[in-house]
């Protein structure tokens, strides 16, 4: 075993030990719960655009993109566009013709202008409309035709019904050994009074949608290794690896 392999094995061992440490996992859950109160995810930018993600999850997606080397990354939910810029910058580093497609029911004009003038805009396309509208789904599938591998990230409306519809609409685009990432599954693990002004809650959120989806779709499995590695993540049970064509 060479030094690179030895280091890799050491890391895997550390991840396994930490994943079995209930005290550490408990601390991670408490940390997430307490920082969410202060909109911790809003604190970060990427290349000048608000990212609105946990840095830990962005590192995980970076690892996925480096491993998969997708020709297309599809994301539902655009907000300020930081994640679109992030994925585009990773594709830029990879070279090639990789693109990012963002879908949002409301792309606010000031955000659209900032995204369109960004240096990474050359790799970004945006579609305005509901990600579960039949015409939008058809447009996304048309845009994705002939592109492979594809990574899909779901981060728009977080209700069970909406996310389940997204999973059913876009999972077929994800290629074997690639990933479908569902953000904000952590809603299921937070106190029910955290989102009094939102339509989602415990029992009605992305994690419950993932569980329902996996009952009838055997192309995907939850990649627990990613969650075990991160410990701090807004996407527990949300990193889905495609295991079949």
At 68-117, the pLDDT tens digits run 999 999 999 999 999 999 999 999 999 999 999 999 999 999 999 999 99
Q: What does the alpha-carbon distance between residue 224 and residue 234 come to, in Å, rounded to a whole number? A: 14
Average pLDDT over residues 200-222: 97
pLDDT at residue 193 above 90?
Answer: no
Q: What is the pLDDT of residues 25-78, one digit of tens each?
A: 999 999 999 999 899 999 999 999 999 999 999 999 999 999 999 999 999 999
Residue 194 binned pLDDT confidence (cut-offs 50, 70, 90) = confident
Q: What is the pLDDT of residues 126-163, one digit of tens each?
A: 999 999 999 999 999 999 999 999 999 999 999 999 99
Bridge partners (DSSP) listed for residue 242: 220
- Which among 192, 3, 167, 157 is positioned nearest to 74, based on CA atoms? 167
Give the global pTM: 0.97
Q: Angle, nearest 10°, between helix axes 82-94 and 55-68? A: 30
Q: What does the alpha-carbon distance between residue 99 and residue 92 come to, in Å, rounded to a whole number? A: 9
Bridge partners (DSSP) listed for residue 154: 76, 182
In this structure, what CATH number is given to the domain that contains residue 204?
3.40.50.150
User: 140-167: b or e for each residue (b if 16 or more CB lie within 10 Å)?
Assistant: beebbeebebbbbbbbbbbbbebbbbbb
Give residue 13's domain range. Answer: 3-242
What pLDDT is attached to residue 3? 96
What pLDDT is attached to residue 166? 98
Q: What does the alpha-carbon distance between residue 139 and residue 145 come to, in Å, rounded to a whole number? A: 10
User: 171-195: b or e for each residue (b if 16 or more CB lie within 10 Å)?
Assistant: bebbbeebbbbbbbbbbbebeeeeb
Average pLDDT over residues 178-195: 94
Q: Are 103 and 136 in contact (CB under 8 A)?
A: yes
- Which among 135, 139, 134, 140 is positioned nearest to 154, based on CA atoms? 140
What are the φ and ψ backbone dihedral angles of 176, each rounded to 5 degrees? -55, 135
Number of domains in the chain: 1
Radius of gyration of the chain (CA): 18
Residue bearing the bigger pLDDT, 208 or 196? 208
Residue 153's SS3 state is: strand
């Amino acid at each position: 075993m060479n030094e690179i392999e030895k280091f890799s094995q050491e890391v895997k061992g550390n991840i396994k030990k930490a994943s079995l440490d209930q005290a550490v996992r408990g601390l991670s859950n408490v940390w997430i719960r307490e920082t969410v109160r202060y909109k911790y995810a809003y604190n970060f930018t990427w290349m000048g655009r608000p990212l609105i993600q946990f840095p830990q999850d962005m590192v995980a997606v970076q690892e996925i993109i480096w491993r998969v080397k997708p020709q297309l990354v599809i994301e539902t939910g655009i907000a300020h566009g930081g994640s679109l810029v992030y994925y585009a910058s990773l594709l830029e580093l990879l070279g090639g013709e990789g693109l990012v497609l963002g879908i949002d029911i409301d792309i606010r004009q000031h955000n659209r202008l900032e995204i369109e003038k960004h240096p990474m805009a050359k790799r970004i396309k945006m579609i305005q409309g509901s990600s579960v509208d039949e015409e939008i789904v058809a447009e996304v599938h048309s845009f994705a035709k002939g592109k492979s591998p594809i990574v899909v990230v779901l981060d728009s409306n977080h209700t069970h019904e909406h996310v389940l519809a997204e999973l059913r609409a876009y999972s077929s685009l994800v290629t074997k050994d690639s990933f479908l990432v569902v953000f904000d599954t952590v809603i299921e693990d937070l106190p029910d009074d955290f989102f009094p002004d939102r339509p989602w809650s415990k029992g009605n959120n992305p994690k419950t949608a993932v569980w329902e989806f996996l009952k009838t779709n055997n192309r995907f499995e939850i990649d627990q290794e990613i969650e075990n590695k991160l410990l701090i993540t807004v996407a527990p049970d949300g990193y889905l690896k495609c295991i079949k064509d």
